[in-house]
Amino acid sequence: MALVPGVIKGLGVTFGEIVKTVTKGADTVQYPHEKEAPPPRARGVIALHEENCTACMLCSRECPDWCIYIEGHKTLAPPRRAGGKPRSVNKLDRFDIDYALCMYCGICVEVCPFEALFWSPDYEYSEPKIADLLHDKTRLGQWMETVPEFESYEAGAEVKQKKVPRP
Ligand code: SF4
Ligand code: SF4
């Protein structure tokens, strides 16, 4: 018998939602015929600024889903000062993110010490084949065009690191 009050309560919620939809309109839209603009800082897709990436693997190690795949090799770069020795640097060969596994936690973007990863609010990259959700560094680099301009910190916010300007 304890079931009856629960059913009545549930029907009350349903009826309330029907009244709300009829009077104020639905909260949902008929995607893809209608599209809503996400907030600028929405976590849509991760963009890679390849020139800043040192293949340090930090993002890959911290990713809880193990869905970032990085390969690189050592190479020599010109010395910083005239007369100095050439520097040994990492060159990025592969940087893939598998969006079939990613849970959009944002840890990779937060931990990157070199400002190489950015959130873009773009969310339209569904694929008929799940394997195509693996984005390589070329595709991740193309998302940079959709990354919004950096907004100034709010007054009193703690600034932890300097922002490296994007080209
Ligand atoms: S957002 Fe989270 S799950 Fe997705 S690639 Fe980054 S660390 Fe991994
Ligand atoms: S994206 Fe950042 S954390 Fe990841 S390998 Fe490149 S420099 Fe390191």
Residue 28 forms part of a structural domain: yes
What is the reported pLDDT for 96? 98
Asked if residue 8 and residue 76 are part of one domain, the reply reads: no
Residue nearest to atom 8 of ligand 1 (CA): 63
Nearest listed ligand to the Cα of residue 65: 1
What is the reported pLDDT for 155? 84
Asked if residue 59 and residue 26 are part of one domain, the reply reads: no
Nearest listed ligand to the Cα of residue 48: 2
Residue nearest to atom 2 of ligand 1 (CA): 105
Asked if residue 63 and residue 21 are part of one domain, the reply reads: no
Residue 100 forms part of a structural domain: yes
Could you list the pLDDT tens digit for every one of the 167 residues in the chain? Answer: 667 888 999 999 999 999 988 999 888 889 999 998 898 889 999 999 999 999 999 999 999 999 999 999 999 999 988 889 999 999 999 999 999 999 999 999 999 999 999 999 999 999 999 999 999 999 999 999 999 998 887 888 877 665 555 54
What is the reported pLDDT for 165? 52
What is the reported pLDDT for 34? 93
23: tokens are 């009077």
Asked if residue 119 and residue 45 are part of one domain, the reply reads: yes
Asked if residue 66 and residue 5 are part of one domain, the reply reads: no
Asked if residue 75 and residue 16 are part of one domain, the reply reads: no
* Residue 89 CA to ligand 1 centre (angstroms): 25
Ligand 2 neighbour 102 (Cβ under 6 A): no
Look up the CATH number of the domain holding residue 63. Answer: 3.30.70.3270
What is the reported pLDDT for 26? 83
Residue nearest to atom 6 of ligand 1 (CA): 108
The number of folded domains in the chain is 2
